[in-house]
Structure 1
């Protein structure tokens, strides 16, 4: 039986109804945020120590990537116990203190839930390996006999998202088990009642502790088509099915997944304080994605169409319009996200020859972004993103203008996608490098020692917090001003109205009494009437907005 360990009261700053409709949510990747003990890995006490920094930034909630007990085969997305904090990150008491402090500062806390698969070290999977085919223990996962005369061929032709076959066998085992990701991440069988009841109990465990919501990993992948039929396609993270095929395949976006989320929603609604869920689902078209955010399912779904949009005015406008229309059709808010722990940072993507393109990692022998141009465009993009109605997500370090580590040597890499594709896919390590807090300190102030689980590039020094704090025009101070103005003008709860302009490279829209202008071209443009509140770059001598820049103006 789960018991609440502490009586956490929701702070007054967090009591507004349906807070998630307009919230700015900051993603923390725990191992890379702040290290309290000098072992080179970020932890929960490190997060707690930096909460005042996040409070000054002006965010409404934090989302923590997994911190559960795990062998860390996929940086914690291979969970061995969903109710235990991994000693790498601290203890359950450390989590409680962090949660209490966040609430005291007016911030809500969202935790990651990984329901599609467990670690191969989870007690259930270990019991399955020790049990015979057809056993109750194996029924919780997707074990199948192989094809061929001796069962030596995989049960079907499915491919892992991380590359290679999606089926593996334990040494000496006669059966194969499904893993849509790494071989150490066996997929659960969501047709099994034990699986459904276990995860409802996991939800209760964290809700009873006081968490405010869940980010649901691979939300579209839990249910597989009956019979596990062959499918020749290949799914990719964030983009969904490669090649733009709207057929997601028999392992994704199956109809029965929605009943799971309806049952979870009923559970969350039984708790006070507007607890919420946000889906990570790589689905096209948007009409399919919005099925996850109908009134009786989740409250939010990540808008990956927006993340994948190139630096092009017409393309951005089309995605914004389609996103707002699709979410409005089900009465849900739209989310806006430019970067996360699975994508090359947008500051670097905007500096590529095809700005905004999403490579699967960048290595030293690949195209190197124009760092200054990428940052300039990223600052302008923040004006656009934070002016749009709905909820916005900030990936840690985005507020610093932090670029991707694009020259990380291969022997440091840890992403399983890098190894499963024999280096063909560079992987996600470059966006996960620990944050710089102090320019002149060991590990740039990430921790009290020189240790850092991934090496930080030298250029991180100029992005360190202490180099930007209180510095007029720095990216950090720009984000603080943007977030304050977003709150003052209630932009998250507003309504967008496009304005016509003379240039196809310029987007201009009103949200309430605030006007946003973003110049995606290279030539300066004249700003419309209004009182200038803030701009990403200084205007030229004629008062015009330069290229790759943005501004907010008060209309009255």
Structure 2
């Protein structure tokens, strides 16, 4: 039985950082040696909680069903909190659980301050926060400001031209063609395919929706909208949540001149109804967004100033560093999706090093990096890179400098399910039609969490969960991997999660060692706090290399973690001059 930890999270106070570029330049507290390909943070700092933990994304529908209806819920998450203690996870990010018609599985919110009955109640969320905090686990929730459900009371009042709510959304008059038919004001496309404009008879106008027709976009040029969303944020902070992940922030503003058509992308692989057929200068990443983010941070600071505990705001934005890093100046941390977007199965050591440097070398002074390999919208690691690379990518994620986020089930090496068009649930896939649905559907990466070898892998007692459990659940599940005699992906992940507690991985430097088309390796730490060599093979050939070179500067070390079970020889001191790594394997050696 797992021991229950009852220590509450300690109050923490964020500290600053400083940056060293070949010369020592001090700017508020952390050292980052970019000019020497070394990235370093001061070990003397007291870091806020979100810089020291792994963030684990829970997709509530798919995590654990407590009532047998085939859909995961809040009580199900509560029942599994000790699993996170076992894994040494100290922060959970929950995808939406708000009241919703579920047109987009909770991202179409009809009440931002209530819980949908399929997930439970407000009291269940209160219990989750209390029990998580009792175990030293923080709670981060999805904050969805860009749009609401068309069933939200704000939209219903906007339809009626209510004095307060008539301009809560983006409305536009039609263009009457020579043939007398109605035409939207411009060519803007929905992310989910087709026109981003829908005609409404009540108002005799079109309304804009960046996503589904049932997800009208809010008008953030209306100060009442800004104030109401700040009220939503206060509501959840008062209930004890520790942070927010801001959804779809790039789409928050649109230009005021609705006659402007967006230009074609000239990407030949997309059809004219698909979102990427166009570029989006008028509907993405407008500068007004930064001021709204600052206002949200002001709300979080109100709570932080009361108790001295950091509140965390991380944002979803698929942008290049020059654009996304501006958010640091406004109190938010942008998710860095470069490992998702820029790394393929053919990307070896050199390629991954370049992707990491894209993040590290572009960080502004005082900024703290983030890394993520997948989420509810993207392919699982096993799908993108192959099953044999799951362990080495987890090793990469958990040993880098910065805050890592893990999507549920990646610690097991869960695989994606196959879903026919007829059984597809995801509206993004359905909107593309039978010919293209498989390319766009997000159902495959959202299958139920695999807990045991029993029926439905212990996820639910329902014979028909909302998505099917993967067929390999009898051998790939928490119970089997936890009790495995040989090193399982889960056991390896746990070892890495506890190793991250060492100061060398919390605040130590990162210096590259051997980097080639197969191998990526680096040293974490310093002489004062201890140094660790991390070496990983992301290529497709075995590589034998000498790791005793600079900056290792020693010929021997002690193996502490490998992607396979340690034998008796590896537990002893071993030579660093000729380490051989198979494709998909990795090793960590204490120097």
TM-score by length of 2: 0.82
Question: 1:533 maps to which residue?
Answer: 560
1:408 aligns with 2:419: yes
Aligned-residue offset at 1:451? 3.2
CA distance in 2: counterparts of 1:193 and 1:383, whole angstroms: 46
Contact 1:44 1:94 in 2 (8 A): yes
Offset from partner CA, 1:240-297 (integer Å, 9 cap, x none): 9849x9x7521111111101011111111111310010010111x2111101122x32
CA distance in 1: counterparts of 2:88 and 2:198, whole angstroms: 46
Question: 2:214 maps to which residue?
Answer: 184
1:460 aligns with 2:473: yes
SS in 2 for 1:518: strand
Question: 2:251 maps to which residue?
Answer: 221
Contact 1:527 1:545 in 2 (8 A): no
Aligned-residue offset at 1:83? 0.3
SS in 1 for 2:404: strand
Contact 1:38 1:451 in 2 (8 A): no
Question: 1:518 maps to which residue?
Answer: 536
CA distance in 2: counterparts of 1:382 and 1:457, whole angstroms: 21
Question: 2:506 maps to which residue?
Answer: 492
The counterpart of 1:146, out of the listed 168, 174, 182, is: 174
The counterpart of 2:165, out of the listed 137, 149, 159, is: 137
Aligned-residue offset at 1:43? 0.3
Aligned-residue offset at 1:148? 2.1
The counterpart of 1:304, out of the listed 337, 351, 356, is: 337
Question: 2:581 maps to which residue?
Answer: 545
Offset from partner CA, 1:147-201 (integer Å, 9 cap, x none): 1245710111001111111111235652100001010000000000110000110
CA distance in 1: counterparts of 2:128 and 2:192, whole angstroms: 33
Offset from partner CA, 1:314-334 (integer Å, 9 cap, x none): 22111101101222x142211
Contact 2:58 2:408 in 1 (8 A): yes
The counterpart of 1:289, out of the listed 319, 324, 327, is: 324
Q: Mapping of 1:89-488 within 5 angstroms? A: 89-131=119-161, 136-149=164-177, 152-171=182-201, 173-228=203-258, 229-233=260-264, 242=276, 248-272=280-304, 273-283=309-319, 285-294=320-329, 296-298=330-332, 300-308=333-341, 309-310=343-344, 311-327=347-363, 329-350=364-385, 374-405=386-417, 407-423=418-434, 424-426=436-438, 427-439=441-453, 441-471=454-484, 472-488=486-502
CA distance in 1: counterparts of 2:561 and 2:11, whole angstroms: 27
CA distance in 2: counterparts of 1:469 and 1:20, whole angstroms: 27
CA distance in 1: counterparts of 2:241 and 2:202, whole angstroms: 42
Contact 1:290 1:330 in 2 (8 A): no
SS in 2 for 1:456: coil
Sort the Cα spacing of 1:61 and 1:217 in 2 relative to 1 into closer, same or farther, 3 A. Answer: same
RMSD: 2.3
Question: 2:3 maps to which residue?
Answer: none
Aligned-residue offset at 1:491? 1.1
Contact 1:164 1:421 in 2 (8 A): no
Contact 1:102 1:109 in 2 (8 A): yes
CA distance in 2: counterparts of 1:527 and 1:446, whole angstroms: 46
CA distance in 1: counterparts of 2:492 and 2:582, whole angstroms: 17
CA distance in 2: counterparts of 1:110 and 1:25, whole angstroms: 9
Question: 1:4 maps to which residue?
Answer: none
Contact 2:73 2:118 in 1 (8 A): yes
Mean alpha-carbon deviation: is it higher for 411-420 or for 509-518? 411-420
CA distance in 2: counterparts of 1:419 and 1:49, whole angstroms: 33
Gaps (5+ residues) in structure 2?
1-5, 15-47, 526-530, 548-555, 570-577
Q: What is the aligned residue count?
A: 510
Aligned-residue offset at 1:448? 2.9
Aligned-residue offset at 1:495? 2.1
Contact 2:192 2:275 in 1 (8 A): no
CA distance in 2: counterparts of 1:120 and 1:12, whole angstroms: 39
Aligned-residue offset at 1:504? 2.8
CA distance in 1: counterparts of 2:211 and 2:9, whole angstroms: 41
Aligned-residue offset at 1:226? 2.1
Sort the Cα spacing of 1:470 and 1:159 in 2 relative to 1 into closer, same or farther, 3 A. Answer: same
Question: 2:8 maps to which residue?
Answer: 11
Aligned-residue offset at 1:204? 0.4
TM-score by length of 1: 0.87
Gaps (5+ residues) in structure 1?
1-8, 351-373
Contact 1:534 1:553 in 2 (8 A): yes
Aligned-residue offset at 1:443? 1.3
Greater gyration radius = 2
Contact 1:388 1:492 in 2 (8 A): no
